[in-house]
Each structure stands twice: as C-alpha cells, then as structure tokens.
Structure 1
C-alpha cells in the first residue's frame, strides 16, 4: 500500500542508474528488418512503434503521433499470407487453418500478431509492435510527459517499488502499460530476482537478474501447450523476489492473487481497462473465468494488490492519469478508491 513506504534515498540521490542503452536490440531489429520484405524500411525506422498490414489492401504505421498510411508497395493477399507464415515461423510457432490466430516475439523484442482468413474476413491481417531502441527508465518516461511534469512523482513511484508494494498497471491497448511496468521494475534493488510470465515476451527490464517465462501453444497434434496459469504455478518454485504477470487476461488471475497473498510482495501485472472505475468489473470478469465468486475475488484482490496505476493515451502522449486502491464495498464486492500518487 502507499502507506507502506520505506525510507529509501530519493531517485536523484541514488547511485547512478544503469545505462538504458540496448544496442544489441537495435542491431537485432535492423538485421530482422530484411525478413519483412517491403516493410523492411518501416521496421528499421527508429520512430515507428506499430505497423499494420490489412488483408493485402493497405499498410499503416504509427510513429508516435497516431496512424498514417505507409508509403510502401501494397502487398497482395498471397504476399501478405506468405509474410505472415514466415514471421510466425521465425518466432518458433505455426499458423494455419487449424491455428489461425498467433502471437510471436522475434529478435530485438519485435512482436507480431497474425490472423488468417476466414477469421480475418478481409484477408490476412498482420500487426507488428516495435519496441523502443533502448529500455526506457522512469526518468525517460518523465521527460516524455507520462507523469505530468511533476518530478516528485518519479521519486514516489521509486519509493513504492522499494516498499515492495504489489502493483497493477491498467489502461487501454497501446497506452504504455508494459513500458511503465518495465521501467518500474528497473528501479527494483539489483540483488532481487525478478521472474516474468507472459503470453508473448514483451517486457524489457533494465535489471541484472530477470528470468522470463513464455507460454507455448499446442503443436500440430494439439499437445504440448503451456498456459499462463501453469506458468504462474511453476514460477513459484523458482524463488522469485518479484513475480510479474505481463498481462492478466484469464483464469491465471486466481494463481496470481494466490501468490501475492502468500508472501510474494513486490509483484506486479497489467490489465486492460478503459478507466480506473472499470478495474473492479474487469477483475470480476477474469475471476469468473477461474470459478471465483465476486466476493471471493474481492477479498483476494484487496489483500493482494496495493496500488493500481491507470494510463491513458491522447494522440501520441501516454500519461499516468490516476491511481487507486482496491477496497471492499458495502455488499462485499470490489470497488476502487482514488488516491494521490
């Protein structure tokens, strides 16, 4: 909780932060660009954050200020599907009529999502998420305007991490949840062991001891899948000092809350939510998938999660707009109470 702060030095008085350079990731991204064929120039563009290929019709790119139609040769339906299959194969997975929706992580942290027809009714759809060329720390995010220009907020967030408060970062897609979570975890003491669990590895944490687990889809025979729920349980045998679930999206929320309620302080995760007020309903929906009643979910969540940080994106600017604590309402269900951050 916010009142669990411990006396730690101000961020600006700490030992100089580790370099956030990731030249290795940049080189990998440039080398990978050739695999994207006509999209290579967009992938190599350091300002590009997202690329979308829509059913062999058009290509769009986001360079931080919103989507623009890309000035690249248009891929026809066959070329788009060929590109999709090749990229998924590079990520060690397969996409076909039996498995038409696949998400993979490529070199340099590039993330590719593919949907094949007939699920994608207009033709094969390829969505590419491109990470920043270097890992962003809290001061980088402050300079970008994420914290509203108040430097004291950076120090308070660092103290929150130092106090081992369990965090839930919420917001809509593309609001910066994963980026903020990675920056927060980079402020954890260097002697701590961070174990991350993700559907597709996306977190980039500037910390000396990070172990990542990634889910696995079933093979062509339908066997061998490993979901987030199983990986959360496996991670508990790895003695994590901080247990991190990249995104809560299903029944794994039960395993995460159970872990955070049994001595695993300093944990964190992200959750899709349109507003801070929507967080209780989103958690209840995920709890229902795990067979948890609203009241059982509420008791677990209030005890497990110390602070909720909500992000919003306006144009090309991502901002941390609100913070809150989870609490029990008069009916025993989950509510959110806003707090200063």
Structure 2
C-alpha cells in the first residue's frame, strides 16, 4: 500500500508517464533512451540525473515492456507472473509461488496493461473477446476480463528462460538424480522415442531442452510447439510455432498441421513441445515410420497415468483406445516423469512403454526415486535390452 508521503510522488510519476506516452503517440518523441530522456526533461520536472534515468526505465517499461511487472524479470528464477486483479500479484519460480507487494493502483491500470500486451501480440482484448492468449517475444500471455473473471482483470505470463541448462547442471542441482543421468544419456544416444511427463511447472521443457542438447551435432532437430519455449544448445534446430485464427476463425495453424509439415523437412529428430490434442496421432505415426529419437512432453500426474492421458488425446484425433494403444505401444520406448517437491523439481521415474498380453498400453517402472535413492524397477532389464538393441546400455 502506498504511504501517504509517497502518494504525491507516485501521482506525479503516473502523470509524467502519461505526458511522455502522449508525446510518443504524437510522434514528437522517439522510443529510444535518448528520446525518452528528452521527453522527461521537457516535462518540466526536476528529477536530477538519477531520477531521469529511473523515469526513462519506468516509461520504457510502460511503453514497450511489462509495465509495473518489468522489474520482476531480474533473474532467471522467475518462470511465471500471475496477476489476479490490481491488489494480488504472484510470481512462480525455484522457490514456488510467492506473493509480491502491490504493484497496481487500480483495476483500470491492470486492464490497460493487459489490452496493450494483447494488442502487441496482434490480438484484441475487449468485451467481445474477453479471453485471449498471445505470444509476445519471450512471453506467453493469457488475459481474462471481467465479468468472466470475478476478481478483476487476470494476467498469466509464462516467461521463456534465457538460460539453457545442461544435463550436468540439472544433475548438480538435484533435478536429475545421480543414478538417472547415465540412463538419460543412453536414451538419447540410443535414439529411443520418449515422452517427458509431469504436472504444470515441473520443468518438462527445461529437461527436454537439456536432453536435446545431447543430440548429435550432425542431426537436424525440428521443434513443433504451441508457444516457442525450447531453446536447446544445438547447432541445427528449426522451430515451428502454431498460430491462432482471427475472430472469424480463419488463418489458424494447429500443431497437427505443423507435425505433418515437419515430416517434409527432413528431421533427424521430430520434437513436439507439448502434446495436448490430435497432434499425438501424427507424432506416433511418425515414430512408427522410421523417425526414431523423437520425443515431446505431456501433462500427467504420474508415469502410470500416461496411457490414460494418451488415450484421451487419441480420442480427440479419432483414434479408438485399441488403436491408440497399438500405435503408442510400438512407437514409444520410455516415459520420463517429473515431479515438484518442496526443494524444487526432480525426475521421479524412468519407465518403459509397451503392450501387455491383452494388447493394453502399459508403463512399467525401470528406475525410480525413493528415500534410499534410485531403485531399479520391474522393467529395468527390459530397458537394458532395448538399449542394447540400439547399441547402448546405461
């Protein structure tokens, strides 16, 4: 809450931002550091050198960045910014969800920021289109307006990590248990087909980027994503990103379309950032037609829940449970499951995918983590045989 003594300064700051914004829109001030500094000086306010620099930073954030949220981007630890109306802002990252002091003075300020960010992403946010999702630079932004939102304008901002972690760094941090690192290396070197599963915020994309960084330097990686988040340290990657349709529904390109196009781009590894719909059919078909080393992520509460999740996604593509089981059982090799624990994120299980005697899709644990460390499961030897068939053993 703003203290009484600070209120005049805050009000003056907002007034100055409004004046400079008007100058920019009128074309009398350039959106550059020098142009904004000149606009601040001509506003008539005596701020001094440091005050002018702070004002320029604030105005640039208001005009080009995330406005009052911009200063939250100071570290790579922040993965999400969640605004639940003017008085309730949260950040998510390594330390989990935590609340931050009030950053907005009114509902109109939150709404104005949401409208500007959505417009910068090429969409419109208003009463006729009150729920919108856009991709803007390194952000994925979702906004909801009242009355659909009962507590004011909602903003959910997913931040693409600028830093890419290697498998060694993830092992050192505890995300990948020591006893699992060698198996993950063998899975990648042996070009097994895989899915990384886990709930929201468990680090699926981070792990996938790290694993893709181990792909051979002569391999061509084609990445298909709903929102571009993967940035593996690899010399030959090609990214494809889906596109939403306009208000009339025209111009949209979904993940299934992109997967089919990716197959014509000579991929050595086909990667789907997140399987969330009918594209699972096209990915499994690709895996079954010689595209080994392929992978992706999927939302699931456990490795054992992946068959049910795939069955549901297959139904969206018109696949019967039996057809999905046959496709997935012959296409996929392993599921790598991540969980979120109080100390951070962790690979909890590596499981082997297959079919049982009744033709049902099964996911059996090969390596799991408990209080004693990594424990070999019932499918450990079968996984070793599959790796041996690819020329590798972990």
Shorter-chain TM-score bucket reads: 0.7 to 0.9
1:288 CA drift (Å)? 0.9
Select 1:139's aligned residue among 168, 190, 193: 168
Maintained 8 Å contact 1:325/1:338: yes
Greater shift after overlay, 71-80 or 316-325? 71-80
1:191 CA drift (Å)? 1.1
Q: Does residue 281 of structure 2 align to residue 254 of structure 1? A: yes
| 1:51 equivalent in structure 2 | 81
Maintained 8 Å contact 1:111/1:202: no
* SS at structure 1 position matched to 2:315: helix
| 2:144 equivalent in structure 1 | 115
Structure 1 Cα separation of the partners of residues 305 and 195 of structure 2: 13
Select 1:287's aligned residue among 314, 317, 325: 314
Structure 2 Cα separation of the partners of residues 102 and 241 of structure 1: 35
1:32 CA drift (Å)? 9.9
Structure 2 Cα separation of the partners of residues 75 and 269 of structure 1: 42
| 2:68 equivalent in structure 1 | 38
Matches within 5 A, 1:145-224: 145-150=174-179, 153-224=180-251
| 1:15 equivalent in structure 2 | none
Question: What do you get for the CA RMSD once the two structures are aligned?
Answer: 2.1
Please, what TM-score do these two structures have when normalized by structure 1?
Answer: 0.84
Maintained 8 Å contact 1:33/1:43: no
Structure 2 Cα separation of the partners of residues 45 and 181 of structure 1: 21
Q: Does residue 115 of structure 2 align to residue 125 of structure 1? A: no
Give a deviation string over 1:154-194, Cα, whole Å, max 9, x none.
23312211111111000000000011011100100111111
Structure 1 Cα separation of the partners of residues 127 and 280 of structure 2: 30
* SS at structure 1 position matched to 2:311: helix
Change (3 A) 1:35 1:254: same
Q: Does residue 92 of structure 2 align to residue 65 of structure 1? A: no
Maintained 8 Å contact 1:261/1:304: yes
Q: Does residue 270 of structure 2 align to residue 243 of structure 1? A: yes
Structure 2 Cα separation of the partners of residues 133 and 316 of structure 1: 22
* SS at structure 2 position matched to 1:104: strand
Q: How many aligned residue pairs are there?
A: 309
Structure 1 Cα separation of the partners of residues 329 and 62 of structure 2: 44
1:133 CA drift (Å)? 3.6
Structure 1 Cα separation of the partners of residues 76 and 240 of structure 2: 27
1:114 CA drift (Å)? 2.1
Maintained 8 Å contact 1:33/1:39: no
1:202 CA drift (Å)? 0.9
Q: Does residue 266 of structure 2 align to residue 266 of structure 1? A: no
Please, what TM-score do these two structures have when normalized by structure 2?
Answer: 0.74
1:314 CA drift (Å)? 0.7
Q: Does residue 323 of structure 2 align to residue 296 of structure 1? A: yes
| 1:310 equivalent in structure 2 | 337
Structure 1, gaps ≥5 residues long: 1-29
Give a deviation string over 1:304-337, Cα, whole Å, max 9, x none.
1111000000125110011112222344222211
1:84 CA drift (Å)? 1.6
| 1:225 equivalent in structure 2 | 252
Change (3 A) 1:323 1:190: same
Higher CA-based Rg: 2
Structure 1 Cα separation of the partners of residues 130 and 306 of structure 2: 30
